[in-house]
Amino acid sequence: MNFAGKVWRLLVGIKDALALLFLLLFFMGLYAVLTTRPSPGQVHGGALLLDLDGSVVEEASQTDPLQVLLSQEMPAGEFQARDLVRAIDAAATDNRIEAVVLDLSRFLGGGQVHLSEIGAALDRVRAAKKPVLAFANAYVDDGMMLASHASEVWVDPLGGAVVAGPGGDRLYYGGLLERLKVKAHVFRVGTYKAAVEPFLGGGMSPEAREDAGALYSALWEEWKADVKKARPAANLALVSGQPVEWLAAAKGNAALAARQAGLVDKIGDRVAFGQRVARIVGPDEWDSVPGGFAHTDLAPWLAANKPGKQGKAIGVVTIAGEIVDGDEGPGKAGGDRIAGLLDDALDDDLAGLVVRVDSPGGSVMASEEIRRAILRHKARKIPIAVSMGNVAASGGYWVSTPAQRIFAEPETITGSIGIFAVVPTFENALGQWGVTTDGVKTTPLSGQPDLAAGLTPETETMIQSVIENGYARFLSLVAKSRGKSPAEIDRIAQGRVWAGGPARQAGLVDQFGGLDDALAWTAQQAGLKDGEWHAKFLGSKTDAYHSLLQALMGSGEAGGKASANDLVALLTARQAGLTQRLSADLDRLLTTRGAEAYCLSCPREPHGAAMSTRSRAADSGLMRILGTLIRD
Listed by start position, the domains of the chain span 43-163+231-304, 170-215+312-434+448-530+574-632
Query: Coil, strand, or helix at residue 209?
Result: helix
Under 8 Å between Cβ of 494 and 192: yes
Q: What DSSP character marks residue 346?
A: G
Query: Coil, strand, or helix at residue 7?
Result: helix
Domain 43-163+231-304: which CATH number of 3.60.15.10, 3.40.50.1100, 3.40.190.10, 3.90.226.10 = 3.90.226.10
Give the residue ranges of the chain where pLDDT is below 50: 33-36, 547, 551-560, 605-632
Looking at CATH, the fold of the domain delimited by 170-215+312-434+448-530+574-632 is given as 2-enoyl-CoA Hydratase; Chain A, domain 1 (3.90.226)
Q: What DSSP character marks residue 196?
A: G
| Domains 43-163+231-304 and 170-215+312-434+448-530+574-632 fall in the same CATH topology | yes
**What pLDDT is stored for residue 631 in this prediction?**
35
Beta-bridged to residue 405, according to DSSP, are: 385
Alpha-carbon span 595 to 474, nearest angstrom? 12
Neighbour tally for 237: CB within 10 Å: 12
Under 8 Å between Cβ of 67 and 619: no
Tell me the per-residue pLDDT of 449-494, one tens digit each, with 9 for 90 and over.
Answer: 888 888 989 988 998 999 999 999 999 999 999 999 999 999 999 9
Rg (CA), the chain: 27
Amino acid letter, residue 474: F
What one-character-per-residue DSSP string does 471-529 give?
Answer: HHHHHHHHHHHHT--HHHHHHH-TT-EEEHHHHHHHTS--EE--HHHHHHHHHHHTT--
Neighbour tally for 164: CB within 10 Å: 15
Amino acid letter, residue 632: D
Tell me the per-residue pLDDT of 238-272, one tens digit each, with 9 for 90 and over.
Answer: 999 999 999 999 999 999 999 999 999 999 999 99
Alpha-carbon span 481 to 484, nearest angstrom? 8
Alpha-carbon span 598 to 582, nearest angstrom? 16
Under 8 Å between Cβ of 147 and 262: no
What end-to-end distance do the CA atoms of the chain give, in Å? 71
Instruction: Kindly list the catalytic residues.
Output: 193, 394
**What pLDDT is stored for residue 562 in this prediction?**
52
**What pLDDT is stored for residue 579 in this prediction?**
60
The residues, ordered by sequence, that sit 6+ positions from 211 with a Cβ below 8 Å of its Cβ are 192, 194, 495, 496, 497, 601
**What pLDDT is stored for residue 611 in this prediction?**
38
Under 8 Å between Cβ of 199 and 186: yes
Under 8 Å between Cβ of 54 and 562: yes
